[in-house]
Amino acid sequence: MDVTTALTHRSSTRAFLDKPVSDEQIRAILDAARWAPSGVNIQPWQVAVVRGETKQKLADALIAARAAGAQNPDYQYYPAQWIDPFKERRKHCGLALYQALEIRREDTEKQKEAWNNNYRFFGAPVGLLLFLDRRLGQGAWIDMGMFMQSIMLAAQEQGLATCPQASLGEYPDVVRSLLGMDENLALLGGIALGHADPDAAVNRYRTEREPVDAFTRWYE
């Protein structure tokens, strides 16, 4: 698979088959992603691979934390106040997703269950949790973005699907405690990894992208 195909065919998968992913596949993905660039080669990424019983315990703990209102992320992913065009894009994204899930605005129980599926990694057999040392500068967060994209593209080559999940970083103390991670490691979020369910309507949901000329200026 060429890089352009991998980029344009990657999508955020939210329904996975109950089909295992081998250790060899996970290692191959991470082995490729470790070549992502980083400032002065600091390679700030730390990865926790969760499966089986650990993944279930983590999901249960995160759902309980959400019910208790214990959200305390290590960073602010979204703005405190939305402005256009970002506000409008967010609105369209959410509406399209809920339509794909057949969830109406007034159906609060289905909305709650849909959100809790984030913490279950959408049923994927593998969850990757991504950390970096909080004492590093903001440049390291750029490095982490390139590392995450590298993971997802390498997964495409392996015939696997992914979903990047900032929601998994909402309760970092819960995650660090359960996994025994150092307090200096900030939790960015995670990636669900597995085989996409081709029959799930939610996996046919797609977001649009702005054309090149909408975000590019040319200078000579």
Per-residue tokens: 158: 């392996």
Is the pLDDT confidence value at 13 over 80? Answer: yes
Q: Give Cβ neighbours of residue 107 (< 8 Å, ≥ 6 apart).
A: none
The CATH class, in words, for 3-209 is alpha beta
Q: Domain residues of the chain, as ranges?
A: 3-209
pTM for the whole structure: 0.94
Q: In the 8-state DSSP scheme, what is residue 127?
A: E
> How confident is the model at residue 105, as a pLDDT?
77
* Bridge pairing between strands 46-50 and 126-133: antiparallel
* Cβ–Cβ < 8 Å for 162, 155: yes
> How confident is the model at residue 167, as a pLDDT?
95
Model pLDDT for residues 26-57, shown as the tens digit of each residue: 999 999 999 999 999 999 999 999 999 999 99
Model pLDDT for residues 151-201, shown as the tens digit of each residue: 999 999 999 999 999 999 999 999 999 999 999 999 999 999 999 999 998
Model pLDDT for residues 72-121, shown as the tens digit of each residue: 999 999 999 999 999 999 999 988 888 888 888 778 888 888 889 999 99
> How confident is the model at residue 138, as a pLDDT?
96
Model pLDDT for residues 126-135, shown as the tens digit of each residue: 999 999 999 9
The Cα 37–Cα 22 span in angstroms is 26
Task: For residue 74, give the nearest of 145, 149, 135, 33 by alpha carbon.
Answer: 135
Model pLDDT for residues 55-73, shown as the tens digit of each residue: 999 999 999 999 999 899 9
